[in-house]
Chains A and B, each alone.
Chain A
Amino acid sequence: MKLTGAQILMEVLKEEGVDTIFGFPGGVVIDIYDELAKTDIRHILVRHEQGAVHAADGYARASGRVGVCLVTSGPGATNTVTGIATAYMDSIPIVIFTGQVPTQLIGNDAFQEVDIVGITRPCTKHNYLVKRTEDLARIVKEAFIIAGSGRPGPVLIDLPKDVSNTKIIYKAPKKIELKAYNPTYNPNMKQLHRAVKLIKNAKKPIIFAGGGVVLSKGSKELTELAHKTRTPVTCSLMGLGVFPGTDPLWLGMIGMHGTYRANMCSGECDLIVAVGVRFDDRVTGKTDTFAPNAKIVHIDIDPTSIRKNIPVAVPIVGDCKITLGLLNRLLDKEDLGDLKTKRKKWLDQIDQWKSTKPLAYKQEDIIKPQYVIEKLYELTKGSAIITTEVGQNQMWAAQYYHFKKPNHFITSGGLGCMGFGLPAAIGAQLACPDKLVVDIAGDGSIQMNIQEMATAEQYNLPVKIVILNNQYLGMVRQWQELFYDKRYSGTGMEHAPDFVKLAEAYGALGLRATKPEEVEPVLRKGLSSPKTVIMDFVVEREECVYPMVPAGAPITEMLLA
């Protein structure tokens, strides 16, 4: 059968089960778009290519599947870079197709030519320039394998125009073999036995879980481990939801804006069972003083995560779900009867930290942003998919929305990418049409990809946007207040659009609350609307996120409200 490259691409995408592509067309991908229209694959036309990648990312995080996007060469390709870096830092499986000028023009500075493979080399898990139509099917298959397996990540495929429109006799590729790519899923049992011993003998252990548990779908096994061994659990930002935020063993998030008790635990504990984390600087604070009394068991599928930032007593390379499952089976054979009494003192200590220094704020005359999130949590019963932008809005969402399940908190953790929340919410809504999807935003970051309102409208996506509007770039302002004598250089944002009118201009519903008593009615009205909704909450301008660990300080030295 003779097929063009574009037709072959569609064949392979169908085989891979792709149902949605986020994209933006251009000159060198017209052939692909022409074929795309003949398939059942749904194309979501974004308003900016960065939005396409974030949407594919949100789709992947909400569904656990590989997200796909398609853009043109040159500026189309460069606009994807921020989105790709975001997905790379958070290990999110997406495949990005970029158009490229015809092979014979590559290197000639042709119109809309850019070396996107060179540009994205350090922020993709892998990338390809397809030089012959004959290689296309194999490369696309490889890309899906690489993106979705091991430690997932974005894979980019650059498609020159002649590769897409050349006709060849197509034979579906046989089994794909990547001889040098072989992620370790099954852990070393000897190390696992050492971990069991440490867990049994620990007096003051904690479990520290991260995004790796979400990606491996290991939430059930993690919860079982915690309950079986009476071990309290904290999460990194990326891990929120893998352990129920309502469980008595829940410590809250750890790190720069972690809870008092979680951070104190890291200082006092004698064992950390770290699962699917990479000990980022926002978690450890000053590394030499992090967990000074603890032995660390570190489970991760990526060997480079282990011993990169901190020393580890028991390194275990393996898939989090598989490893936790095996760990639970080994623990079943042990007598754990006395753990309940053995851990009582430790758990009492934690309760005392919790009751003396809880997360707190005072709701007075002006709306407090924390109050908005608490109300949102109440009204959605903690079951909405929450996406966030980056900054204070993100931290308050992490602190005050008590996630019960994984894949429900979608946030740019590693890169800290403003403008992520709205397009990610669009992707999440498409992946989960029956779920309530809420983007918690600040007035600053929402403006970074506000154009995607039109995308939400075009596809009737009932995404809800909660803007915590303080007319500041709040997190930077907070640092300036605390560490720069309140010199608010470059952080005032008094000139934002009227978000209610803006919503209406896009054809969405716009609502505003300026007083505390308006918060609940606005949320009720907005959340129950079948439309895309912007809810603008005019909040206390100079509210800070607490606790806060100053950058580079030990994590147990927190500024409290």
Chain B
Amino acid sequence: MTEQKHILSILVDNQPGVLSRIAGLFSGRGYNIESLSVAETIDPLVSRITMVTMADTPVVEQIMKQLHKLINVIKVYELTGSSYVQREMALIKVQARPERRAEILRIVDIFRCKVVDVGQGHYTLEVTGDEGKMDAILNLLKPIGIKEIAKTGIIALFREPK
């Protein structure tokens, strides 16, 4: 069977140690975590973990069952295969020599991102989008010179029926 990317959305008790239980489950059973993002939901007692993992179908079925078995896990959804929106965000510190500044700003414009910090030799850009957009902007900025990058994992939600 072939491994595929699966996006899991996991609602958990917002308590210390819960993330460690989930990370421990993955490392202990040899599952992989491609990316992970965690934050409180509108209910302060509940956090949402959005996780991306590479696995074949039986393994992802087992992962979901194992997650559900943890006492602090309230719900596990798989988003892949249904209709959902996904976003990541990145802060990209890009080298900005005088002759490239206009070009960078043009890219910022095209990708609808923002310049959030500016200095003698750099711009820091804030980019949000799905994976495709992230890859595209990084490809364009690489030749100009990326000094540093900080990226979140994927966050995602189901689309509601129209």
Contacts and interface: CB of A to CB of B under 8 A. Distances in A.
Contacts of B72: 180
Given A304-B62, A307-B61, A118 B13 contact: no
B17 A126 contact: no
A492 interface: no
Interface of B: 13, 17, 20-21, 24-25, 28, 58, 61-62, 65-66, 68-69, 71-75
Given A122-B28, A180-B73, A180-B74, A308 B20 contact: no
Contacts of B17: 117, 121, 129
20 contacts: A117-B17, A118-B20, A121-B21, A121-B24, A122-B28, A126-B71, A129-B17, A178-B71, A180-B13, A180-B71, A180-B72, A180-B73, A180-B75, A302-B69, A303-B65, A303-B68, A304-B62, A304-B69, A307-B62, A308-B62
A179 interface: yes
Contacts of B62: 304, 307-308
Contacts of B68: 303
Given A117-B17, A179-B74, A180-B72, A304 B24 contact: no
Given A179-B74, A180-B13, A307-B58, A122 B66 contact: no
Interface string A371-403: 000000000000000000000000000000000
A307 B58 CA distance: 8
A178 B13 CA distance: 11
A146 B72 CA distance: 12
Contact of B71 (A118, A129, A146, A304): A146
Contacts of A146: 71
Contact of B66 (A179, A180, A304, A307): A304
Nearest to B13: A180
B24 to A, nearest CB: 5
Interface of A: 117-118, 121-122, 125-126, 129, 146, 178-181, 302-304, 307-308
Nearest to A308: B62
Nearest to A122: B28
Given A146-B71, A180-B72, A304 B65 contact: yes
Nearest to B25: A122
Contacts of B28: 122
Nearest to A179: B74
A129 B72 CA distance: 14
Nearest to B63: A304
Nearest to A126: B71
A181 B65 contact: no
Given A304-B69, A308-B62, 12 more contacts: A121-B17, A121-B21, A121-B24, A125-B71, A178-B71, A180-B13, A180-B73, A180-B74, A302-B69, A303-B65, A303-B68, A304-B66
Nearest to A311: B58
A181 B71 contact: yes
Contacts of A302: 69
Contacts of B69: 302-304
Nearest to A302: B69
A181 B70 CA distance: 8
A129 B73 CA distance: 18
A307 B20 CA distance: 26
Nearest to A306: B65
A439 to B, nearest CB: 32
Contacts of A303: 65, 68-69
Contacts of B21: 121
- Of B61, B69, B74, chain A has the most CB atoms within 10 Å of the CB of B69
A3 B34 CA distance: 49
Contact of B24 (A122, A125, A126): A122
A371 B5 CA distance: 57
A113 to B, nearest CB: 17
Residue in A118, A126, A178, A304 whose Cβ sees the most chain B Cβ within 10 Å: A304
Contacts of A125: 71
A304 to B, nearest CB: 4
A142 B110 CA distance: 55
